[in-house]
A and B are shown apart, each in its own frame.
Chain A
Amino acid sequence: MVDIEVFTSSVCNRCQAAAGLVEQVLKAPGFETVSWREVDVVTEIDHAVAMGVLAMPSIVIGGELLFSTLPGKQQLHHAIKKYLAGRSDDD
């Protein structure tokens, strides 16, 4: 399972910014093992609906919809850090 999914569409102005933000945040130390992918909402609409995505951009981390709008850099960093802490507890 991919750790982070960024739900975007080609017609959404802030979607490119969301993908760029995730790329940027994942450059931080400790985030090297985090995988992510961009999901086109129109092409994968069933998956988007199943994840509870209603607006773009949306960010799902660890299978949970955490952001339904473009988050701030710190917010995203904190969410990924929290996810990783939870993931290592399960290991």
Chain B
Amino acid sequence: MKILDDKKINEKVFAGRLSCQLPVYIVPKPHYKSMYAVLAIKYGSVNRNYFLNESYHEMPSGIAHFLEHKMFDMPDGTNTLNEFSLHGADCNAFTSKDLTAYYFDATENFSENLEILIKMVMTPFYTEESVNKERGIISQEIKMVEDNPSFIAYQNILTMLFGDCPVSEPIAGTQESINLITPELLYRCHENFYRPRNMALAIVGDLEPEKTFNLADLYLKKYYDDSASPTPVPDALVCNRAARTRKTTEYASVSAPQLLFAISFTPQLVGKNYLKQKLTAEFTLQILFGPSSDFYAKNYCDNNIRSDFGIEVEYISNISFIILGGETKNPNILADFIIETLDSAKEQINSEKLERTKRAFIGSYIRSWEDFEEIALSFIEGEFYQYNPLDIYTISQSIEVADCLNFIYNDMSKNRAISILLPQKE
């Protein structure tokens, strides 16, 4: 293992690769009782279609999420959630657009819980009966999610920005698509994607790094991933949309109108360039729309925005976009203000504001190093997007006004989406 360290914040990270080829990151946290481990697969809802051995394979939408649900069943009929409980651990999982993650946190029995986690994720077991039962449960989940106004607005944004493309599909799929999922397809996806070279393990807690590394190596020994064996290549996301502003307005079960405003941009795909662009985008948006901005001051006092007004920069595989919004008295006026602010970015962004934003970032960066889940997931993302999270501090402080303006005027596209939700009439 090699040691990555950040003397500024007094953290050491042990990074290595197990003999089965799985990348591992261990962050020792002396004197803490909690221990956290996450095993993630670089396989999310957008990766459903892929090339393998020169043929193209199309899988039903929602398969990565379905697979995640089924991982908790073991061949001996037990459910691993009980196993974790018995060993004093809290376990959960999630599927996102670009990855699936299984994690636990515990204050005891770390090695036993790690073994359960690894065995669970590496052991596929699907039957007709269990798949049919899960279909019923997921069908309920889809219904619940489809009722959620936030989901409706976000879906509208994706469809407007990216059209008919896997990124626009709901993670859980649709009622129709989940009917096409069979045990055979699940086995195939597990075999193709749940393999050490396509995964990463991150562990945080009061643990001895060498010992923990060797333990993980032992539990994963039999899953050696030969680089010579054929590897599936997920289809790149192709979203051919004529660049223009699109808008939808609909009624939903909300107590006040809501606005979401998004713009796609050309992503830096991996590495330090990715990190720099992401931080530049975040700082630029904070300067233009954050709580210290003129935009925020004007609109907060006019009650055009509330304290739930959010700003996100999202990267999914080879596409990316910024998204802002929240509750508002008048969504159309707010959308106009956003456009006006973007159009006057050159006047809004100066070095005084940028320096203040970079300084404010230091506090949130330091806070992030106290949240075990955040630490672990940042190393997972770093592995999948090929960067070292410990570079974040230096890169953040190196950003200049020219970088912010470059993001606005060169990276950001003319492809814009506006989603408005209005309260249902009584």
Chain B binds chain A:
no
